[in-house]
Amino acid sequence: MLPWFVPAFKIMRNVDAAAGLKINIGAGLSGAAGWFNIDNSPTVLISRIPLARKLLKTPQWPKDVRRFDVRKGLPFPDQSAIYIYSSHTFEHFTWAESVVVAKECFRVLRPGGVVRIVVPDLELIVRRYLAEGDALASQRFLQRLSLSHTFHDLIHPGANHSQMFDRRSLIHLLQTAGFDKPEVSQFMQSRIPEVGRLDLEQRKSESLYVESLR
């Protein structure tokens, strides 16, 4: 079911229904042309007002990034998408929220469609902590986890993490959502032809990539 507050025709009217949607969840400032780019930052709307953007020094959001809170559901019809991509977003949800969003991804994808989830790699962070071994290693470890929440979250939801994933937990998340065979992938290795426009080089050294067919 679509959320009542986003009529399907408003989402689909400029989309070739036969070709299928390409959805980018948590696009940030890196929205990809030809994709439906979503982000939940309030500054998306503020940046549309020139005076407010200047006074508040908000980022210059691309015009094709739409503000939407995917925790309330994805505003797309069943089996309407061929690709769903999300980078460094799921760690900002609670586990329960991430299950809801992953199930929505399953609902929205067509059979044979691809979901690709990229998150900070907890296993990699732990390995770096264990390898450092100096007196302040534990402090750097906690900073990398970024699990504390502050008032800044009111302005920028997702400024800090609510959970962390390793390969087992991220694969389990997608299996819980209904995906049969999620697999660990690598930077720029994907069934999504346009992955080169989505995987960011600056995230390569810190990321875990998991992908699955619907």
CATH of residue 140's domain is: 3.40.50
Residue 81 pLDDT more than 80?
A: yes
pLDDT for the residue 66: 92
In a domain, 149, yes or no: yes
Residue 3 lies in a domain: no
Percent of the chain with pLDDT over 70: 81
Using the structure block, give the residue that is written with the tokens 């009542």: 4
Q: What is the pLDDT of residues 30-79, one digit of tens each?
A: 889 999 999 988 777 666 667 666 676 767 777 889 989 999 999 999 99
Flag whether 99 is in a domain. Answer: yes
DSSP code string of the chain:
---TTS-HHHHHTTS-TTT-EEEEET-TT-PPTTSEEEE--THHHHTTSHHHHHHHT-----TTEEE--GGG--SS-TT-EEEEEEES-GGGS-HHHHHHHHHHHHHHEEEEEEEEEEEEBHHHHHHHHHHH-STTHHHHHHHHH-----THHHHSTTSS-S--B-HHHHHHHHHHHT-S--EEEBTTB-SSTTGGGTS-GGGGGGEEEEEEE-
What confidence score (pLDDT) does residue 61 get?
A: 77
For position 184, what pLDDT does the model report? Answer: 98
Does a structural domain hold residue 2? no
Q: Which of 8-22, 23-37, 150-164, 198-212 has the highest mean pLDDT?
A: 198-212
Dist. CA 151–CA 128, nearest whole Å: 29
For residue 147, is it within any domain?
yes
Q: Model's pTM, two decimal places?
A: 0.86
The answer to whether position 61 is within a domain reads yes
Count of structural domains within the chain: 1
Residue 184 pairs in a beta bridge with 210
Question: Is residue 193 within 8 Å of 94, Cβ to Cβ?
Answer: no
1 lies in a domain?
A: no
Structural domain boundaries enclosing 60: 8-213
